[in-house]
Amino acid sequence: MPAIPHIPDNAPFTPAQRAWLNGFLAGMYSRDQPTAQPPTATRNVAVLYASQTGTSERLAKKIAKELKLKGHTARVTSLESYAPTALATEQCALILASTYGEGDPPDHARLFFDQLCTDQAPRLDQLDYALLALGDSHYEHFCKFGVDLDSRLETLGAKRLCPTVTCDVDVDEPFEAWKSELLTRLSAATSAPPTPVIAPVVPTAPISLYHRKNPFLATLIDKRSLTHNISSKQTIHLSFSLDTSGLDYEAGDALAVLPSNDPCLVSDILEHAQLSGSEPLALPNSDRQTLAEALTHRLQITRLSRKLIEAFARAGACTTLLSLLKPEQQSHLDQYMHDRGLIDLILEHPGVVTSAQQLVDLLPQLAPRLYSISSSPRSHAGEVHATVAVVRYRSHNRERGGVCSTLFADRTAIGEKLPIYIQHNKKFRLPLDSATPIIMIGPGTGIAPFRAFLHERRATSATGRNWLFFGERSAETDFLYREELEQMTASGLLTRLDTAFSRDQAHKIYVQDRMIEQGAELFRWLEQGATLYVCGDATYMAKDVDAALHRILEQHGSLSPEAARDFVSNLHDSNRYQRDVY
């Protein structure tokens, strides 16, 4: 057996990175050995995923690798390029499904799920399956797509290999539990004779050293306001140095940041819960921490969820909260949760929190925040930029702030470091053919990836035409990147720039109004093969822009509503309608 390479202590890595690399190398080298335990049974497994920002794709690849090491055959496929009829030919499928929108599939899995839900969907009596549903319980429809898919598969006759597991933000632990249960059941469920296999050498895709569990500490090298100080909102531009990290990204990717809470809010919570903060805790997968450290760096304290309110209400037998949890009270519960946080529960129900550990057990993990990257690696080498709307509001007699956006705005100075990693987004990319025209709809911070696209197209001398629709409240105070965009227009890089300043006149004007005004030209660009991109608010803007697109197709393409729907579906399917909405 060849010696396992070892990263020496003086190599330019942090201890955590060195330990990770040494573990990785040890794993790889021991895998190469033909002495690996032969598996007892093998299966041909389709590993399917429905992902938007890459988490379920990453887990799908991880489980496929382990299946192969156990001698099974595993093929990883996105549901984007998979049809229910193909599922009818599988014996065994593992599905990792993330939820978006209002409990919907990710954009790319929409067609698969729509087809699976029709009367023409095939019976799946031959299929054994296991499902991991990814989501975030702060959303009203927690893991709904995964749950709906699970029940549809069952209706069509497929049999569950192991119980469906839901992951709430922190995916790694439930994934490991699901995987180990599944691998046990998979081996047990097959009657195929053991195949004498040598554990295959798995070709390794380049794996980033930096991820959620091992973020890179990036130095903030620039921070400036993009809005005027008399504006009704605050949007800031940030640049981080990637230094010698080796982190790379493409225009269209997102920057993930592991935020920390405002220490003043943590102090308030501790004071009202009558805890000191110095109480030691044992948290899973972490060194010992004090309560104050956990509340600052690891736990979500600013948002409420049904799960948290339920646990809190039960712990304190709070009758008002318990009655809010009744199904018929959902709208009142939503209203209650909308602008309150943990501090409000503690103030309104004193005495419920009795110990540090009880408080910690109630709270979910603090999730990373994503920001569409607004730089191009070719134009801004060694840097990554973000464009951030700072969340501030007042409710229940308290000034409140978004955790991460106020961390950037108020609690991080130039020269300080924040933990980051890159969240790749292969579904939001410039066209491969650089001559393809692009139409970008990006109001507010939705401008971010389009600044990246434009810099990228300039750096690569792309010949395709570029059309940007930008919207904000007021031209005087909120015209983000005004000089840059005007310079790009003057240089001809931006073929067209259409702006919609919503509050500069008596009635609101939005980007979709400008699209409709320019409908004939927009339709011509689409006919000429343009790719259409939308970025920004998902709740209202993206839906209204979608409706405007249908209207333009009907009006200027003389299409019926059904034909316009098909046109848009085709745009989606051919990656000519890409959305990065939040």
Ligand X SMILES: Cc1cc2nc3c(=O)[nH]c(=O)nc-3n(C[C@H](O)[C@H](O)[C@H](O)COP(=O)(O)O)c2cc1C
Ligand Y SMILES: NC(=O)c1ccc[n+]([C@@H]2O[C@H](COP(=O)([O-])OP(=O)(O)OC[C@H]3O[C@@H](n4cnc5c(N)ncnc54)[C@H](OP(=O)(O)O)[C@@H]3O)[C@@H](O)[C@H]2O)c1
Chain residues in the site for ligand X (CB under 6 A): 51-56, 98-100, 102-103, 106, 134-136, 139, 141-144, 538, 582
For 393, the token pair is 């509001």
Give the footprint of ligand FAD on residues 259-318 (CB under 6 A): 259, 302-303
Q: In this complex, which beta carbon is closest to ligand Y, that of residue 419 or of residue 443?
A: 443
Direct distance between the N- and C-terminal alpha carbons of the chain, in angstroms, rounded to an integer: 50
Task: Pick one of 265, 292, 404, 500: the residue that binds ligand FAD (CB under 6 A).
Answer: 404
Which of 370, 497, 377, 363 shows the shortest CA–CA distance to 423? Answer: 370
* Total count of residues recorded for the chain: 582
What's the CA gap between 536 and 433, in Å, rounded?
Answer: 25
Segment interacting with ligand FAD (CB under 6 A) among 184-192, 243-251, 307-315, 400-408: 400-408
Contact of residue 136 among ligand X, ligand Y, ligand FAD, none (CB under 5-8 Å per partner type): ligand X
Q: What secondary structure does DSSP assign to 499-559, as a single string?
A: EEETTSSSS---HHHHHHHTHHHHHHHHHTT-EEEEEE-TTTHHHHHHHHHHHHHHHHS--
What's the CA gap between 61 and 44, in Å, rounded?
Answer: 15
Q: Which DSSP category does 211 fall into?
A: B
Decide if residue 398 touches ligand Y (CB under 6 A).
no
What's the CA gap between 354 and 315, in Å, rounded?
Answer: 10
Q: What secondary structure does DSSP assign to 8-21, as a single string?
A: -TTSSS-HHHHHHH
Task: Pick one of 57, 128, 253, 537: the residue that binds ligand Y (CB under 6 A).
Answer: 537
Q: How far is the CB of 59 from ligand X (least distance, A)?
A: 8
Q: How far is the CB of 139 from ligand X (least distance, A)?
A: 3
Decide if residue 376 touches ligand FAD (CB under 6 A).
no
Task: Pick one of 76, 247, 448, 549: the residue that binds ligand FAD (CB under 6 A).
Answer: 448
3-state secondary structure of 275: coil
Decide if residue 403 touches ligand FAD (CB under 6 A).
yes
Decide if residue 372 touches ligand FAD (CB under 6 A).
yes
**Rg (alpha carbons) of the chain, rounded to whole number:** 25
Decide if residue 179 touches ligand Y (CB under 6 A).
no
Q: In this complex, which beta carbon is closest to ligand Y, that of residue 75 or of residue 338?
A: 338
From residue 414 to residue 443, what is the string marking binding to ligand FAD with x (rule CB under 6 A)?
A: ------------------------------
78 strand-pairing partners: 49
Instruction: Give the total of residues touching ligand FAD (CB under 6 A).
Output: 25
Q: In this complex, which beta carbon is closest to ligand FAD, that of residue 42 or of residue 235?
A: 235
Which of 569, 553, 573, 572 shows the shortest CA–CA distance to 561? Answer: 553
Task: Pick one of 445, 499, 502, 531: the residue that binds ligand FAD (CB under 6 A).
Answer: 445
Decide if residue 498 touches ligand Y (CB under 6 A).
no
Is 93:87 a contact under the CB 8 Å cutoff? yes
Q: How far is the CB of 557 from ligand Y (least distance, A)?
A: 22
Q: What secondary structure does DSSP assign to 392-417, as a single string?
A: EEEETTEEEE-HHHHHHHHH--TT-E
Decide if residue 444 touches ligand Y (CB under 6 A).
yes
Q: How far is the CB of 481 from ligand X (least distance, A)?
A: 24
* Contact residues: ligand Y, CB under 6 A: 233, 235, 389, 391-393, 443-446, 471-473, 502-503, 508, 510-512, 536-537, 540-541, 544
